[in-house]
Amino acid sequence: MSEPWTIARVARWATDDFCARGLDSPRLEAEVLLAHALGVPRINLFLELERPLSADELARYRALITRRRAREPVAYLIGEREFYGRSFRVDARVLVPRPDTEALVDVALRRTASRALYGRALDVCTGSGCVAVTIARERPTWRVTATELSADALDVARDNAHRLGAHTLALLEGDLFAPVAGRRFELVTANPPYIPDTEIDTLDADVRDFEPRLALSGGADGFQVTRRVIAEAGEVLAPRGVLALEIMAGTSAEVTERLRAARFEDVEVTRDHTGLERVVSGVWPG
């Protein structure tokens, strides 16, 4: 009789397979997908390493492995990704939240700390809602609004806001600031699409072939949406309000210049957890 496919054996097999295919974190991914196929937390795998998988469990794991081999992001396969300590639902309708973007939240909270008790925040290009939901949860007394062009993405954000208890968050469909015309905010955050169109084909297949093009494409030079956010933010910022923008690494000088040219003051560049310049922020004169 052939050796049974136990948890330990199947995880080892998948790890070797992912490793041979050049995936970045083969063991972690093999374990995360196995835990998902079995419907248990990852830690449980280690409690029953010698348990054989049932035929159904094996079939579910095989299906996940096949999709991962085709480079579908793990977050889409398991339907979630952690951001700022909370688990967000994600699928192919939204960009997978990145740890880099936690720097955007850090800057937004730090630069508005003196108004922690009351304020109005706006997150444009909200996607999964990871930034807006986090700000709403970290600043429970603020009124938080978010806008998004894609109705499909907005459905995901709505689900996240509901599940994660961001009850003060208002989610509006539309182009950048159009849904909030005439209103004022002490804080505006944005992680706009910023990849130049010419670079999209050079991205990892995980990103290029699976994440929404609308979430990636920043037009010919990458600044198409960023340029508009900087030019239009002043129309909704309260005096001394803060604009915090995520940028593509390597573009901080250009974005800083654009903010200054648009009359922003106290412009700062902040690095993400990997040391790359990731956030540019400034204060609207008042």
Ligand X SMILES: C[S@@+](CC[C@H](N)C(=O)[O-])C[C@H]1O[C@@H](n2cnc3c(N)ncnc32)[C@H](O)[C@@H]1O
Binding residues for ligand X, rule: CB under 6 A, are: 94-95, 97, 101, 124-128, 130-131, 147-150, 153, 175-176, 191-193, 214-215, 225
Q: 10 or 176: whose CB is closer to ligand X?
A: 176
Smallest separation (angstroms) from ligand X to the CB of 113: 21
Residue with structure tokens 């960023």?
A: 226
Burial zone of 42 (CB within 10 Å; 0-12 exposed, 13-18 middle, 19+ buried): middle
Distance CA 110, CA 139 (A): 12
Smallest separation (angstroms) from ligand X to the CB of 103: 11
Distance CA 199, CA 104 (A): 23
Smallest separation (angstroms) from ligand X to the CB of 79: 16
The answer to whether 255 touches 104, Cβ cutoff 8 Å, is: no
Q: 83 or 264: whose CB is closer to ligand X?
A: 83
Smallest separation (angstroms) from ligand X to the CB of 285: 25
Q: Which amino acid is at 238?
A: A
Comparing CA positions, the residue from 123, 164, 179, 121 lying closest to residue 146 is 123
Partners of 271 in the β-ladder: 277
Q: 45 or 153: whose CB is closer to ligand X?
A: 153
Q: 112 or 126: whose CB is closer to ligand X?
A: 126
Q: 64 or 166: whose CB is closer to ligand X?
A: 166
Q: 7 or 95: whose CB is closer to ligand X?
A: 95
Distance CA 236, CA 15 (A): 50
Smallest separation (angstroms) from ligand X to the CB of 271: 17
How far the first Cα of the chain sits from its last, in Å, is 78
Which run of H or E residues covers position 245? strand 237-246
Comparing CA positions, the residue from 15, 4, 12 lying closest to residue 53 is 4
CB nearest ligand X: which residue? 127
Smallest separation (angstroms) from ligand X to the CB of 182: 17
| Phi, psi of 3, rounded to the nearest 5 degrees | -60, 135
Q: 60 or 93: whose CB is closer to ligand X?
A: 93
Smallest separation (angstroms) from ligand X to the CB of 52: 39
Distance CA 189, CA 125 (A): 9
Q: 101 or 281: whose CB is closer to ligand X?
A: 101
- Lookup: tokens for 164: 């994660």
Partners of 217 in the β-ladder: 195
Smallest separation (angstroms) from ligand X to the CB of 124: 6
